Structure 1
Amino acid sequence: MQALPTAKDQRVKIAKVEGERASAMAKAQAAAEAEKRAFLDRITKPSGLTDEQVLEKAAHIINRAVENGLTSVQVFRFPNHLCTDDGRAIDQHEAGWERTLTGIPKELYDFWERQLKPRGYHIKYEVIDRAGGLRGDVGVSLSW
């Protein structure tokens, strides 16, 4: 017959399990934060890609969307705080909103203006996430 541990021993065991679970969650959260910081670091700096490289990527994305019968596709998503005004001008559809862009979002807009706009493509930046009613991520979509 197996002995029944004391209630105190059971509470100690539960506390140990909960401590291990909390430690694992803290490690996962720290890893997610590190990944987010690395992503933000990458998109706030120039990509280093040439127009030809970006055009090749764009053609792949657009052609795949067309094959699926779509007339638009979201090509990028970024946190609103990458805009100099936290996405306010984009959200309010103000003239000159594109001047609030920084990093890769600005690079995408400039590329569209140079390469895709003359080919008849349209670009749209819009706030697509409103967690807790606050302005969140901005989505970038191309349409044709």
Structure 2
Amino acid sequence: MQDLQVPSAGDFAKKIAIAEAEEAAKESRIQQQAEAEKKALLDQLTKPSGVSDEEAIKRAITMIEGAVRNLRTEVQVHRFPNQLCTDGGRAINQMEEGWEQTLTGVPKEIYQLWEKYFRDKGYKLRVEIVDFPGGKPGDVAMTLGWAPK
């Protein structure tokens, strides 16, 4: 009988440890990439959109028309991370007076567009926290409504 080399249990334990370390490193890289993408999106959303009021109005009307075709009386016009609020969405969640002052970037532009062009035409804008990951405020949704009185 040939002298077979039987690896030690420790050799296999090392292989498992190496594989686990490689998997953890891979997961870490994926997590870092996701965080970088989220940061880039937040950075983009905090800056002015560069969309003119005229173009924004056209986009809103297109969204409204699509909702009306589906017999809806409201449409979510934007959803964004609560980090775009100066207080992390606390004032919105508490429905405090002046909550709109906490908006920044694109959400602030949307609010201002509604206030300037849509409010007096009977449109309502509902802004609310729509998810609570880990029990804490998460994303914020802006919903435009036009229900008849």
Q: Could you tell me the TM-score, scaled by structure 2's length?
A: 0.83
Matches within 5 A, 1:12-31: 12-31=14-33
Go from structure 1 to structure 2 and tell me whether the alpha carbon gap of 1:106 and 1:5 turns closer, same or farther (over 3 Å shift): same
Distance 2:26 2:117 in 1: 47
Aligned positions, number: 143
Structure 2: give runs of 5+ residues left out of the alignment: none
Distance 1:81 1:37 in 2: 10
Q: Could you tell me the TM-score, scaled by structure 1's length?
A: 0.86
Identical positions, percent: 50
1:51 paired residue number: 53
> RMSD value over aligned CA atoms?
2.0
1:92 paired residue number: 94
Q: Structure 1 counterpart of 2:28, which letter?
A: A
Compare 42-51 and 65-74 and name the one that shifted more.
Answer: 65-74
Go from structure 1 to structure 2 and tell me whether the alpha carbon gap of 1:13 and 1:119 turns closer, same or farther (over 3 Å shift): same
C-alpha deviations, 1:32-63, integer Å up to 9, x for none?
Answer: 00011101101111101101221222223222
C-alpha deviations, 1:40-97, integer Å up to 9, x for none?
Answer: 1011111011012212222232222222232222221222232233322222222222
Larger Rg: 2
Selected match of 2:11 from 9, 28, 48 = 9
Runs of 4+ in 1 over 6 A off after TM superposition: none
